Amino acid sequence: MLACEGVHVPVIIQFLDWQDYSDQYIMVLERPTPCMDVSSFVENNGGSVTENTAQYIMGQATYAAQICCQRGVFHRDIKMENLLINPDMLEVKLIDFGCGDLLKRSAYKEYMGTMNYTCPEYFEWGQYYGMPATVYSLGVLLFAMVCGRFPTHFDLDQIDEKSWSKDGLTEECCNLIEACLQEDPDGRIDLDEILDHKWFQMESQYVSIQYI
């Protein structure tokens, strides 16, 4: 409810109604059509997508994450399976707030989410902060979309040294991946700076996303 408060934002699934029963809640959500999750979309495209397509999906996912945080919500499970996409228009919607929490300034010490997208500070220190963790999950999302796999320890070591690259990817794309996936959360790009990154200034074949 909190994520949908205020001005309607198309990149977040709309919460339409709810009923409270003694043993369950019933939620009525928007049902976009046609749609599939981004994981299925990527699989249908041969296991990875072009930078152009990734740029458009990543932009919308980042915008959804920013709006959530602005409204005091920590989604905590941004991943391909939790992003619906219209395969014709490439319109994206963030879904499934089941791992979510209120965004707070203090550290989270309980893990919720998907292991492949988990920030390294949780494993190292047993705690993490909402905004840097969100940036890390977005970095994993981008990596998985353009590489067709999750980053390995070898990838992450190179990323941390800012020496990672992949044939077929632009320098700008590799740079954003490195900026999001730094091991030190203080070394990551800020969530509010992602959409200003030079990768998003590159010409895309798709219509520009209109951000509020």
Q: Which residues of 145-168 are buried (b: 16+ CB within 10 A; e: fewer)?
A: bbbeeebeeebbebbbeeebeeee
- Non-local (6+) Cβ contacts of 138 within 8 A are 58, 61, 62, 65, 78, 180, 191, 194
Residue-number span of the structural domain to which 129 is assigned? 35-201
Domain presence at residue 194: yes
3-state secondary structure of 40: helix
Distance from C-alpha of 78 to C-alpha of 54, rounded to nearest angstrom = 15
Q: Closest Cα partner for 134 from 175, 88, 73?
A: 73
H/E segment holding residue 194: none
d(CA 51, CA 170): 8
In-domain check, residue 66? yes
Domains held by the chain: number: 1
Distance CA(143)–CA(57), nearest Å, equals 12
CA–CA separation, 143 vs 189, rounded Å? 15
What's the predicted TM-score (pTM) here?
0.94
Which residues participate in catalysis according to the annotation? 77
In whole angstroms, give the CA distance from residue 199 to residue 23.
Answer: 48
Residue 119 lies in a domain: yes
The pair of three-digit structure tokens given for residue 131, joined into one six-digit string:
């905004």
Alpha carbon dihedral 110, 116, 118, 119, in 10-degree steps, equals 150
pLDDT tens series, the chain, 212 aa: 999 999 999 999 999 999 999 999 999 999 999 999 999 999 999 999 999 999 999 999 999 999 999 999 999 999 999 999 999 999 999 999 999 999 999 999 998 999 999 999 999 999 999 999 999 999 999 999 999 999 999 999 999 999 999 999 999 999 999 999 999 999 999 999 999 999 999 876 554 555 54
- Asked, for residue 11, whether it belongs to a domain, the answer is no
Domain annotation covers residue 112: yes
Examine residue 24 and state whether it is found in any structural domain, yes or no: no
Tell me the angle at which helices 171-180 and 130-147 cross, rounded to the nearest 10 degrees: 140
58, part of any domain:
yes
> In this structure, is residue 131 part of a structural domain?
yes
CATH, residue 44: 1.10.510.10
